[in-house]
Structure 1
């Protein structure tokens, strides 16, 4: 299968999962078990399927965030709540979130859920080298279709994300250099990436300087030809490493998944102000 088909299928459904990082339901559920703000619950809740791992493990699997932010967020996390409690809180938040944002489209998600589950289960046969994904593989499947879809898309996101980190590190990029090169692609501003990952000015400027020395950025911080080729290599490898579950279900099922999930995905993305993708989810 053309890896671009896999990327488009994943991106069409992705807002159904990624909304969990922005909605008040998540902050409320994490607060209910002792986490005082959204960020203090983000790292523990997302890493909880791996077990009560150390901050160092979280830094490795979330490597573009400021390491001191991870340290602060993970300090005492497992004394505040167990991984099982955080996993349950996240599923509750996802349930509430989709019921609120999906509107009437929630009643038609069973076909999409079934297809997405097939893709995710194909990925589950290949956890090697994907630690964050592998942790999620052990979780029980929920019963309701909208949560089956959310869990499937979570698995597919982490499968792809672990592959993306492999590609980034294969190119020798640090976490902050990964952000700077992402910004240089022009899809999202450096200001947003720097702020959301809480990178300091020193981190950011140091990454720019190191990429300039390497020949990836010019004096103005824009890609050189070498830098653009290097980042495109990362994107291509990410697509190739992420296509397996979509190859397993085939092109027709990918097209059906996109068509059956698009209304919900579009509605949820619009409610949260996500950037609009084109009709192909590219």
Structure 2
């Protein structure tokens, strides 16, 4: 099932990415009163957890540098309820999908079937040890097929992310270190230029790189060592393994049907850059 988990990640991730790359969610969140992209990001993604403090969001998200979450949480809860933020995210994301897919794909029987099967997978796995996935499971599943597909794909994304955090912790890879290794795996060099971390203080990035060098994961030029590449691969393999349980609820025939239904949707989204 690990191959299935990797294949499903490739098919579902472009659906989820409209939330962060397309305009509609940002417009919806700004209309609520969120002043910046990151206010809306933290408010809407953390919203399924309720009015939790920054420490809880920081632990659940794992990959943000010290202080980043606290610049937004709990201030975002002071005037905008979590329920409003998560609803705005759903509306905007569904609107993005409809626009990018067009009337033909958005209203197709294939999309409806993909939404049904993805929802079954997304609502079938145990929640134990998976904070963000458990939070998503508390939300109502939308009736509209396009919104339901986005919701269920995002639920599965948070399930995978919870497992990824566990894999990183098992490998003793902290959040910023994980971004460095991901950047190198994507061919980004120097890894400090990666968009998720380039804004951090240079002293902090230097400290992170020094720690990875001391562990033998990157070399003096800031590139993967053999051990670093192997460590990154072990984390990804374990992430795939931990992401597999939701798909065990589907028969082999249903999985094949789901993949076939998703492929044209994903192809359209990839071509548009999910935006």
TM-score range, shorter chain: over 0.9
SS at the partner of 1:140? coil
Is residue 2:275 matched to residue 1:262? no
Aligned to 1:155: 155
Give deviations 1:162-194, integer Å, cap 9, x for gaps.
000000011111111111111222355635634
User: What is the RMSD computed on CA atoms of the aligned residues?
Assistant: 1.8
Report SS of the residue matched to 2:33.
Answer: coil
Determine if contact 1:194/1:204 at 8 Å carries over to the other structure: no
Structure 2 CA distance for aligned equivalents of residues 33 and 140 of structure 1: 21
2:180 corresponds to:
180
C-alpha displacement of 1:250: 3.2
Determine whether 1:168 maps to 2:168: yes
| 1:277 matched residue in structure 2 | none
Contact 1:44-1:77 within 8 A present in 2 as well: yes
Please list the CA deviations of residues 138-167 of structure 1 after superposition, one character each: whole Å capped at 9, or x if unmatched.
101111111111111011000000000000
Q: CA shift at 1:263, angstroms?
A: 1.5
Tell me if the contact between 1:217 and 1:223 (Cα under 8 Å) persists in the aligned partners.
yes
Q: Deviations over 1:191-213 (max 9, x none)?
A: 56344674332222211110110
| C-alpha spacing 1:260/1:220, structure 2 compared with 1 (3 Å) | same
TM-score by length of 1: 0.90
Contact 1:66/1:197 (8 A) holds in 2:
no
- Distance across 2 between alignment mates of 1:233 and 1:161: 15
**In structure 1, what is the Cα distance between the partners aligned to 2:248 and 2:214?**
40
Deviation at 1:10, TM superposition (A): 2.4
Q: Do structure 1's residue 130 and structure 2's residue 130 form an aligned pair?
A: yes
Assess, with a 3 A threshold, how the Cα gap between structure 1 residues 200 and 244 changes in structure 2: closer, same or farther.
same
Larger mean CA deviation between 85-94 and 197-206 belongs to: 197-206
Query: Which of 76-85 and 66-75 deviates more?
Result: 66-75
Pairs within 5 Å for 1:77-88:
77-88=76-87
**Deviations 1:216-270, CA, capped at 9 Å, x for gaps:** 1111112222222211111111000001111221333222212111222221222
Moved more, 92-101 or 191-200: 191-200
Partner of 1:211 in structure 2?
212
Equivalent position SS for 2:51: coil
- Flag structure 1 segments of 5+ consecutive residues without an equivalent: 275-282
Asked if the contact 1:26–1:38 (Cα under 8 Å) also holds between the matched residues in 2, the reply is no
1:257 and 1:192 map into 2 onto residues whose CA distance is 37
Q: For structure 1, which segment, 193-202 or 162-171, has the greater mean C-alpha deviation from structure 2 after superposition?
A: 193-202
C-alpha separation in 1, matches of 2:245 and 2:215:
33
Distance in 1 between residues matched to 2:179 and 2:49, nearest whole Å: 25
Distance in 2, Cα, partners of 1:61 & 1:70: 11
SS in 2 for 1:205: helix
Cα distance in 2, alignment partners of residues 73 and 110 from structure 1: 36
Residues 207-246 of structure 1: pairs in structure 2 closer than 5 A: 207-246=208-247
TM-score by length of 2: 0.92
Distance 1:50 1:16, change over 3 A: same
**Counterpart in the other structure of 2:115:** 113
- What residue is the counterpart of 1:97 in the other structure? 96
Moved more, 64-73 or 98-107: 64-73
Q: Is the 2:18–2:274 contact (alpha carbons within 8 Å) kept by the matching residues of 1?
A: no
Asked if the contact 1:30–1:41 (Cα under 8 Å) also holds between the matched residues in 2, the reply is yes
What is the number of residues matched between the two proteins?
A: 271
